[in-house]
Chain A
Amino acid sequence: MSDAIVLTDLHKAFGKQVVLNGIDLHVPEGQTFVLLGRSGTGKSVLLKLIVGLQKPDSGSIRVHEKDVTSLPIEELNDVRRTIGFLFQDGALYDSLTLGQNVAFPLRRQEGMNEKEQHDHARELLAQVGMEKDFDKLPSEISGGMKKRAGLARALALNPKILLFDEPTSGLDPITAHEINDLILRLHGERKTTAVVVTHDLRGAHDVADRVALIHEGNIVIEGKYDELKKSKEPIVAQFFKQEGRN
């Protein structure tokens, strides 16, 4: 199985604060990879690096064999269109309705007129159970609905890779479970590669093919969820104990 994403010796610091300190990571095609870690350990930064929103200080990031750190902007945009990104709070455009939000990435799609874009947006909203909310503004819906609408928008360009930044944070357990089910269902239907950044252990257990724990800028352990859970490594054991209580 080939790798969809390969990170090699990745370093990133903001001023004196080192966030990533030599990360090596392979995400095989079609797998759901969950990156666990406490808040502020650079998990979200890692996702922004993968999609080229930030530049690493050193190291390489290959997405489908292309090094996104050195691509010219036009080619980087081509790579970005193969990636769907669900931001932590949905990042919906607040002046647009949900339908317009989901149709927004389709504006650059050649050979798709406005009606087709809207029909496709409606279809995507239906896939996340929000067809009737097509004309609502982001300010009129709840946090969980924002995440679902954000997910519909992330799917608009039919991406090969999906990046999820804390998809269940700030949600009640039932809604969080619904979002995890949705991620699982979409993964089953679309066979996309997914990277999920979270500290939600239940979510990780539900959706992950493989899991890694990031701590102080390094990946301290990687494997199947149950392997990590059984690990005697003090940092890993402590993380599972602490997060298991929450």
Chain B
Amino acid sequence: MFEWFGEVAQFTYRAFRAAITRPYEFRELIRQMDEIGSRSAFLVMLAGAAMGVVLSLETRSTLIRFGAKSSLPAVIIISTITESGPIITGLVVSGRVGAGIGAALGSMKVTDQIDAMEASGINPHGYLAAPRILACILMLPLLTLAADFSGVFMGWVATTLAEPTSLALFITSGLKRVTFHDFIPPTLKTVVFGGIIGIVSSFQGMRVTGGTEGVGRAATSSVVLSSLFIILSDVVLVRFILEFFP
């Protein structure tokens, strides 16, 4: 296990070094941002919407029990933007994008495409890994905003179906107790989630051995490991945010 962490650290160093070394792969970065960002947006918004509905249904009955029904908009908004939105986005993207990166790079590895790139003097860390990692890092906060938006919106829809409330009132009363400190750090922590997805999946893909079976293993392990590390890192990040942005 220590060997694996050591190799990941080396890989991360090479990828980031390649990312800041000329020539820059802007075109590939844009392509990956489209692949990772735009094409995950619908899925992330759908997951966010489901989360908003569930939050509304679950929280409403609990708050009624404690006579705090008026806090429902604030509870939905705060729990969406501080925790549910970021973690749901991280897990959904790790499933869709992590598997994709692991399988794509893995199949390039077993068909000698990565060797061919290296043999022509082009650094595969710079062309293949760095744009994918950077795209994940850049797109995760934006996707989190999309998940937050659809979560809050569908939270309002579920609430208003139970008890009609205007969207303006829902948002106003919910945001009364929300500050930028509640919003910015949890959204930015998804940069770490993005980094985890990009690094773990690219690493797992580019070290594939054992033909097509190996590609399947890389895709699976990319999803499993990045999801696991997202959840574990969230523990640390939440503690960090509570400490420095109370």
Contacts and interface: CB of A to CB of B under 8 A. Distances in A.
Interface of A: 48, 51, 53, 73, 77-78, 80-81, 83, 85, 87-89, 91-94, 104-105, 107-108, 153, 156-157
Contact of B115 (A48, A78, A108, A157): A48
B113 A108 contact: no
A156 B120 CA distance: 9
Given A78-B121, A80-B121, A81-B121, A108 B23 contact: yes
B97 to A, nearest CB: 16
Contact of A105 (B111, B112, B120): B120
Contact of A77 (B111, B112, B116, B121): B121
B23 to A, nearest CB: 7
B115 A87 contact: yes
Contacts of A156: 120
27 contacts: A77-B121, A78-B121, A80-B120, A81-B120, A81-B121, A83-B119, A85-B116, A85-B119, A87-B115, A87-B116, A89-B111, A89-B112, A91-B112, A91-B115, A92-B113, A93-B113, A93-B117, A94-B111, A94-B113, A104-B120, A105-B121, A105-B122, A107-B23, A107-B122, A108-B121, A156-B120, A157-B120
Interface in B118-149: 118-123
Interface range for B: 10 to 19
A194 B51 CA distance: 62
Contacts of A53: 115, 118-119
Contacts of B122: 77, 104-105, 107-108
A91 B120 contact: no
Best-buried of B107, B115, B117 by chain A (most CB within 10 Å): B115
A73 B125 CA distance: 13
